[in-house]
Structures are given as structure tokens and as C-alpha cells.
Structure 1
């Protein structure tokens, strides 16, 4: 990958899109992970106002620490970067109290985890509306178009997606070029939605390197029959998640009414 050219392309794309849309800048949720670190740095490099939001909800202290270090580094390097910490823990707790809890634990936990992401999306758009900013998405290609590893109308609810055409390894390569802090570069990827230390790999059953491999092979027409052992297992994981999450990746279905019924 021509890393410098790719970075410049994304930065110019961001600035051009915001300018044509007559928007003032960007707002990004910064989690302490590589995707949000790279996205916020690219937004900062446009020279346009860039608001970094920390939105902890019973967050792991290491995630909070990494996010704060990254934002501090950004503000040291870019005068156009501002930040706010909005503690959503009390909001989430009140929401949780208002909801019925008579469900099996697995579905309840997942539903509440997704609710955290949707509370954050609402917060991002609150500030986007206040300042006439665009909400910058932080999803990469494997998450957004491979396994659908994001919350519908949560972290999937954005105005534009700067890194969604880059697989995870390319995001890390870009992170190295952008001098993202070492703690973030070395941290295990996590969505941070469960209030514990579980990683994305724990949830997905495969690493991003493995999922990139599976995504590439599926795009090249390979099937499960072409592999055995761990490769077959990973390929099957990818295909299962890809199929299950098509509802996130495809446009919202519209019930088209036949013309004769409207007459």
C-alpha cells in the first residue's frame, strides 16, 4: 500500500466532502482503539474543527487511559482538535432500569451492549447538530462489509466512513505512518460494549488477520470445501457471520406497492 498517498487521499476526501456539504468539521467517538485513533487523526489533519468525544459506559480503565493519551497527543499536534468526556454510565443505568429484564442472559446482554452503542450514536449526533459537524465513522472493511461486526444504528450510524475500504492490517499500517501511540497500536481490538476485557477475537472466534484471509478467499470464489483444519473453521466462521449480518450491509428493504393498487 502506498501509505502516504492513501493518507493524503483520505484527508483530501474528508475535507472535500465536508466543504461540499457545507459542514464545519467532524465529531468522532474515541474509544482507545486503533480504528478511532486513525480516523480522528485523519480528521484532524484536514485542518477543520475536530471534536473527539469520550463516552464511557462502565468502561475498562485501560480503554479510557488509551483514549485520553491519544486525544492529548492529538491536541498537542493539532490546534483544531477539541475534546469532551460525556459520562453515559448514569444514562445507561437509568435506561437499563426502565427495560424489562425477564429474558435469557445471552440475548439480554447483547441487547444491552448494542444499546450502549446506540446511546453513543445519539450523543455524537447531538454534538454534530450543535456545531454543524459530520459524524465520522470508525469501521474498517472487515467489520463493515465482511462480518458485520458493528451495531446497527449504533457505531454503524454515521455520516461518512473514512477507513471502510481498508482491512484491519491496512489500518494498522496507516496507524504506524500517523504515529499513533504505542499503547493503542499494541492493544487487542475490542468493541468495549460489555464492560469487561473481552476482545473482538473472543467474540468473533477468529483474529482479524484470519478474517481478512477468509474475506479475500471468498471474494476469489473459494468455498469451505477448499480448506481443512483451522482454515476451514475460520472460513466457515466468516461465511456464517457474513450471511447473518447481511441485514446490516444491505439497504433497508422498501415494500414497493404495485401501481395497480394505488389507482
Structure 2
């Protein structure tokens, strides 16, 4: 990959899109992970306003520390970057007092994890409306189009996706080029939706390099019978997530009414 040319292409694309949309810049949720760090840096390089927002909800301290380190570094490097912190923990706790938990614990935990992501999306769009900004998505190609590892109308609710055509390994290459803090480059990827330090690999059962491999094999038309041992297991994991989350990756189904009924 020609990293510098990819960076320039994305930065120009972002600036052109924002200019044509008549907005002032971008707003981004900063998680302490590689995807939000790379995306916010790309947005900063446009020269347009960039608002970085921390939105903790019972967040693991390691995530908070990395997010703050990145925001500090980015603000020192770019004078068009500003930041704010919106602690959503009280909002989340109040929400929990108004709903019921009529299901098994695992299902409740997942519903609440997705609620965290949707509260953050609401916050991002509040500030986007306030300052005439676009919400920049932070999803990569494996998450957005491979396993669908994101929350519908949560972190999937964005105005534009700068890195969604890049594999996770390519995002890391951009991170190195863009001088993302070493602590973020070395951290295990995590969605941070459960208030602990569990990684994406802990949840999915496969690493991003493995998922990239499986995604490429799927694109080549391979099936599970083409593999054995760990490769077979990884491909099975990939296909399970890809199938279950396909509803996130396609346009919302519309019930079209026959003309004779209208």
C-alpha cells in the first residue's frame, strides 16, 4: 500500500465532501483505539474544524488514558482541533431505571452494550448540529463489511466513513505514518462497550489478521470445506458473523406497494 498517497487521498476526499456539504468540519468520538485515532488525525489534516469527544460510560481506565493521550497530542499538533468530554454514565444509569430486563443476562448485557453506542451516536449528532459538523465514522473494512462488528444506529450511525475501505492492518500502517501514540498502536482492539478491558478478539473468537484472511477467502468464493484445523474454525467464525450481521450491511428493506394498490 502506498501509505502517503492513501492518506492524501482520504484527506482530500474529506475536505472536498465537507466543502460541498457546506459544513465547518467534523466531530469524532475518541475511544482510545486505533480507528478513532487514525480517523481524527485524517480529519485534522484537512485544516477544517475537528471536535474530538470523549464519551465514557463506566469506561476502563486504560481506554480513558489512551483517549486523553491522543487528544492531547492531536491538539498540540493541529490548531484546528478542539475537544470536550461528555460523561454519559449518569444518562446510561438513568436509562436502566426506566426499562425492564425480561431476558437472560447475556441478552441483557448485549442490549445494554448497544445502548451505550447509541447514546454516543446521539451525543455526536447533538454537537454536529450545534456546530454544523459532519459525524465521521471510524469503522474499518473488516468491521463494516466483513463481520459487521458494530452497533446499528450506534457507531454505525455516521455521515461519512473515511477508513471503511481499509483493512485493519492497513489502518495500522496509516497510524504509524500519522504518528498515532505508541500506546494506541500496541493496544488490543476493543469496542469498549462493556465497561471492562475485553478485546474484540475475546468477543469474536478470532484476531483481525485472521478475519482479514477469512474475508479475502470469502471474496475468492471459498467455502468451509476448503479448510481444516484453525483455518476452518476461523472461516466458520467469519461466516457466522457475516451472515448474522448482514442486515447491518445492506440498505434498509422497503416494502414496495404494487401500483395497482395505490
Where on the TM-score scale, by shorter chain, does this alignment land: which range?
Answer: over 0.9
Deviation digits for residues 105-155 of structure 1 (CA, Å, limit 9, x no counterpart): 010000000000000000000000000100000000000000000000000
**CA positional deviation for 1:97:** 1.1
Q: How many residue pairs were aligned?
A: 262
1:78 aligns with 2:78: yes
Aligned residue runs from structure 1 range 68-107, under 5 A = 68-107=68-107
1:51 aligns with 2:62: no
- After superposing on structure 2, the runs of 4+ consecutive aligned residues of structure 1 that deviate more than 2 Å are none
Q: What is aligned with 2:18?
A: 18
Tell me, in whole angstroms, the C-alpha distance in 2 between the residues paired with 1:96 and 1:27: 27
Tell me, in whole angstroms, the C-alpha distance in 1 between the residues paired with 2:70 and 2:107: 34
Q: What is aligned with 2:173?
A: 173
Aligned residue runs from structure 1 range 96-135, under 5 A = 96-135=96-135
Q: What is aligned with 2:205?
A: 205
Tell me, in whole angstroms, the C-alpha distance in 2 between the residues paired with 1:197 and 1:72: 22
Q: What is aligned with 1:36?
A: 36
Q: What is aligned with 2:192?
A: 192
Match of 2:82, SS state, is strand
**CA positional deviation for 1:103:** 1.7
TM-score, structure 1 normalization: 0.99
Tell me, in whole angstroms, the C-alpha distance in 2 between the residues paired with 1:173 and 1:215: 19
**CA positional deviation for 1:177:** 0.3
Deviation digits for residues 52-99 of structure 1 (CA, Å, limit 9, x no counterpart): 000000000000000000000000000000000000000000001111
- Structure 1 unaligned runs (5+)? none
TM-score, structure 2 normalization: 1.00
1:220 aligns with 2:224: no
**CA positional deviation for 1:102:** 2.7
Tell me, in whole angstroms, the C-alpha distance in 1 between the residues paired with 2:25 and 2:218: 37
- Structure 2 unaligned runs (5+)? none
Tell me, in whole angstroms, the C-alpha distance in 1 between the residues paired with 2:172 and 2:25: 25
Q: What is aligned with 2:251?
A: 251
Deviation digits for residues 189-233 of structure 1 (CA, Å, limit 9, x no counterpart): 000000011100000010000000000011011110110000000
Tell me, in whole angstroms, the C-alpha distance in 2 between the residues paired with 1:30 and 1:195: 15
Match of 2:5, SS state, is helix
